[in-house]
Amino acid sequence: MKFIDEAKIDVVAGRGGNGAVSFRREKFVPRGGPDGGDGGRGGSVFAVADENINTLVEYRFVKRYQAKNGEKGHGSDRYGAGADDIELRMPVGTLIRDADTDEVVADLTHHGQRVCLARGGKGGLGNIHFKSSVNRAPKHATPGEEGEARTLLLELKVLADVGLLGMPNAGKSTLIRAVSAARPKVADYPFTTLHPNLGVVRMDENHSFVMADIPGLIEGAAEGAGLGHRFLKHLSRTGLLLHVVDLAPFDDSVEPAAEAQAIVDELRRYDEALYHKPRWLVFNKLDMLSEEEQVERMAAFLTATGWDYPAPDDRFEFDADAPRVFKISALTHQGTQELVHAIQRYLDVHKVRAVEADRLPEAAADNPVLQAATDDAAADDKAE
């Protein structure tokens, strides 16, 4: 299936049915009075997040989604039937914006999330509602309301815990194949992935994370060069970036340090928040180099780029915030297990911190010290 991550659609909710003007007419019941029922509600249009869908391709071909109108009211106190709602199933990670105002209508972040995109109009009131002691035979009813109509922009941002960042042919697809069940295309000649691939890295029954292989970037991606501009957005939802560097490029004239710095510059130009995300350095394709060449090229890279970070060492306490440097061979799986275990520990630590942050206001209510810290943080946020 073709990967489509952007689409523009029109959604139109149904109009409410008109209220009825009717009077009770039965034998031996003179002056039976009004009995016109209300109109039915118009159908609404909803978006539903579905984890079984991974592309917006359906919305590239069908552009308009219109719900049915509500049924008009009837005599004998019969109300019109409401119209059925329309549900548009979309991938988890879809961001929905109003095309006219650029307002964010919905952000579908979890499976089963249901959001109303266009609300159906209410049905009109029948003349049964307008009878009174001074108006015993009302001859008017209200029309149904118009349903909402909107033009929406759909933008799919891949949801993943870890995003792979790097130039084309850095070995990102081979890495995701090595640590997960994902099978992106790889070959022994230079080419770049054309769409994101997701892989679930399963450590054991209770621990796993999602890794995203993002299409390779080139210099100028933030301004629209190559494929990078389309896919940089997919990195925005990841919690951790792995910057994969090819230390054994096909072309000897290629400078890995210059390429890596170009990608970092593209991140900063595209989104400052993306630039400041946690980013680990992963040297790849070490199977193609001797031990001496590995040491020499890694030292040259770290010196040229300023990546002066310690390599992981399990003898010391794990610091989830410290930038890390890893060396692997995705092809031979050398060092990949150490990498995924470090990632899992990082994610576990940050999940605990997120839970603690959510519980802090509750705990602060019974703890004067925490309450003071919470108040100070709130004051600092307000000052900023």
Predicted TM-score (pTM) of the model is 0.63
Measured distance CA(338)–CA(355) in Å, rounded:
26
Summarize pLDDT for 295-317 with one digit per residue, the tens.
888 888 888 887 655 444 443 34
Half-sphere exposure of 164 (CA within 13 A, CB side): 34
Measured distance CA(384)–CA(374) in Å, rounded:
16
Give pLDDT, residue 121.
Answer: 94
pLDDT beyond 80 at 194: no
pLDDT beyond 90 at 120: yes
Measured distance CA(92)–CA(156) in Å, rounded:
8
Pairing, β 104-107 against β 94-98: antiparallel
Q: Give residue 143's pLDDT band: very low, low, confident or very high (50, 70, 90).
A: very high
Give pLDDT, residue 18.
Answer: 94
Topology at the third CATH level for domain 162-357: Rossmann fold (3.40.50)
Measured distance CA(344)–CA(110) in Å, rounded:
21
Give pLDDT, residue 1.
Answer: 42
Greatest CA separation found in the chain? Answer: 109
Burial of 170 (0-12, 13-18, 19+ CB in 10 A): buried
Residues 6+ apart with CB under 8 A from 80: 17, 20, 37, 38, 39, 40, 70, 71, 72, 73, 74, 123
Q: At what angle do helices 368-383 and 336-365 cross, to 10 degrees?
A: 100
Measured distance CA(359)–CA(375) in Å, rounded:
15
Share of the chain above pLDDT 90, in %: 25
Pairing, β 6-12 against β 64-66: parallel
Give pLDDT, residue 132.
Answer: 87
Measured distance CA(152)–CA(50) in Å, rounded:
19
Residues 1-25+32-156: name the CATH superfamily.
GTP1/OBG domain (2.70.210.12)
pLDDT beyond 60 at 364: no
Lowest mean pLDDT among 99-108, 143-152, 323-332, 353-362: 353-362
Give pLDDT, residue 308.
Answer: 53
pLDDT beyond 50 at 178: yes
pLDDT beyond 80 at 260: yes
Q: Give residue 263's pLDDT band: very low, low, confident or very high (50, 70, 90).
A: confident
Residues 6+ apart with CB under 8 A from 31: 136
Highest mean pLDDT among 74-88, 263-277, 312-326, 363-377: 74-88
Write the Ramachandran bin of 217: left for phi over 0, alpha for psi from -120 to 50, otherwise beta: beta
CATH 3.40.50.300 intervals, the chain: 162-357
- Contact, 197 vs 190, CB < 8 A? no
Measured distance CA(155)–CA(7) in Å, rounded:
7
CATH 2.70.210.12 intervals, the chain: 1-25+32-156
Highest mean pLDDT among 24-28, 357-361, 379-383: 24-28
Give pLDDT, residue 183.
Answer: 61
Distances (CA, A) of 373 to 98, 147, 367: 39, 49, 10
Give pLDDT, residue 316.
Answer: 38
Measured distance CA(50)–CA(173) in Å, rounded:
25
Share of the chain above pLDDT 70, in %: 76
Summarize pLDDT for 246-255 with one digit per residue, the tens.
888 777 777 8
For 172-183, what is the mean pLDDT?
78
Summarize pLDDT for 9-65 with one digit per residue, the tens.
999 999 999 999 999 888 777 778 899 999 999 999 999 999 888 788 888 889 999
Give pLDDT, residue 313.
Answer: 44
Please report, in angstroms and rounded to a whole number, the separation of the first and last CA atoms in the chain: 47
Burial of 345 (0-12, 13-18, 19+ CB in 10 A): middle
Give pLDDT, residue 287.
Answer: 87
- 351-373: b (≥16 Cβ within 10 Å) or e: eeeeeeeeeeeeebeeeeeeeee
Among 256, 175, 192, residue whose Cα is nearest residue 228: 192
**What's the chain's average pLDDT?**
79
